[in-house]
A = this chain, B = another copy of it.
């Protein structure tokens, strides 16, 4: 099938850009002596995961147990579920362990650590990372919290007898790197991220507790961190695709964004200087993360159907469920209505690709031309 025949809205993945993004991050992590355990919460695709893990251990990170089951069914055998585990989800983790997977979960709670240690029927056991809050202020304990040693002890230690749990290591996510205004700020957050997990690992070592892994991860800090000394693995994810927000952060250029939404013009409002497209709130998401950046792209930037030429000065200014409203950023500019009749096709570069991609069950993969060279499926749900 051809891109020009594809129904809209559809998700279009540019393979050369994807490959370049993956190669760059993989090379950087190799150069830093860090294993790349890519986070597949963005891509949720086995095809993408095979490319992203190629030069590393093959281990991946996921954000839901539905992803874990999907990747397990697609041959991935070493999976870390990176969202704090609730005890009621442990039977699903145990089932994956019984299938021979090397599964790890994350916790910041002594009570949950005890539950993991008591989980029945989980094969060779469940790996556990202790979540450290390095400044994001979401999940985790501070590296100096007394709970650190208590959690490790509740697991039974890494060489326990009788416990289903073994301590895999310490784990953090510098999500606050997304709030940085400059690369210099990202470098500072990256160093704080590293120091937090190193401090936690050191405290475990001082208590005589083995801590094999020191795991960090966010695309900006993986891209710009100056030192990874002491870090064993990194878990960035969005770098594979990038998006307008990552451009705004300084993590990539526009021509390194691999994912766009193909859309069709479905209305012209010359009286309102506005164009209507069939990519609305469901097709693009309501994410507004660039609102806090120097360039607010609204709900997305506008490109021609090839994805190569940006229609300067335009953005998706508003979205309703199935309508996107394209307006000029500068009110005095005019939309080129004669070039964009109803039926014209455009590509929208999304604000936040994790949210946008989640609306689709597949990628239409292109190689720069009009030919669709593949349809790659995506996991969804929980």
Interface residues in chain A, defined as those with a beta carbon under 8 Å from any beta carbon in chain B: 7-10, 41, 63-64, 83-89, 92, 108-109, 111-112, 137-139, 175, 264-269, 272, 274, 276, 278, 281-283, 285-288, 320-323, 325, 341-343, 354-355, 358-361, 380-382
Contact = CB atoms under 8 A, between A and B. Distances in A.
Q: How many copies of this chain are found per oligomer?
A: 2
A322 B108 contact: no
Given A9-B382, A382-B283, A86 B264 contact: yes
A7 B272 CA distance: 47
Given A41-B322, A320-B175, A267 B88 contact: no
Contacts of A139: 266-267, 269, 276, 323
Contacts of A272: 137
9 contacts: A64-B322, A84-B276, A88-B264, A88-B343, A138-B276, A138-B320, A286-B286, A321-B354, A361-B380
A326 to B, nearest CB: 12
A266 B108 CA distance: 10
A342 B111 contact: yes
A2 to B, nearest CB: 12
A341 to B, nearest CB: 7
Nearest to A6: B88
Contacts of A88: 7-8, 264, 343
A327 to B, nearest CB: 11
A321 B41 contact: yes
A355 B109 contact: no
Given A86-B342, A139-B276, 19 more contacts: A7-B88, A7-B92, A8-B86, A84-B267, A84-B342, A86-B265, A86-B266, A87-B342, A111-B341, A137-B272, A138-B276, A139-B267, A139-B269, A175-B320, A281-B355, A282-B355, A282-B358, A321-B354, A321-B355
B355 A381 contact: no
A63 B265 CA distance: 16
A325 B382 contact: no
A242 B347 CA distance: 33
B342 A361 contact: no
Contact of A361 (B41, B87, B109, B381): B381
Contacts of A278: 83, 86, 382
Nearest to A323: B138
A77 to B, nearest CB: 23
Nearest to A362: B381
Contact of A266 (B83, B137, B381): B83
- 3 interchain residue pairs of minimum CB distance: A84-B266, A286-B286, A86-B264
A320 B83 CA distance: 11
B382 A342 contact: no
Contacts of A274: 137
Contacts of A282: 355, 358
Contacts of A380: 361
A3 to B, nearest CB: 13
A368 B2 CA distance: 50
Contacts of A358: 282, 359
Given A286-B285, A358-B359, A109 B322 contact: no
Contacts of A320: 138, 175
A201 to B, nearest CB: 21
B266 A85 contact: yes
A83 B323 contact: yes
Contacts of A7: 88-89, 92, 382
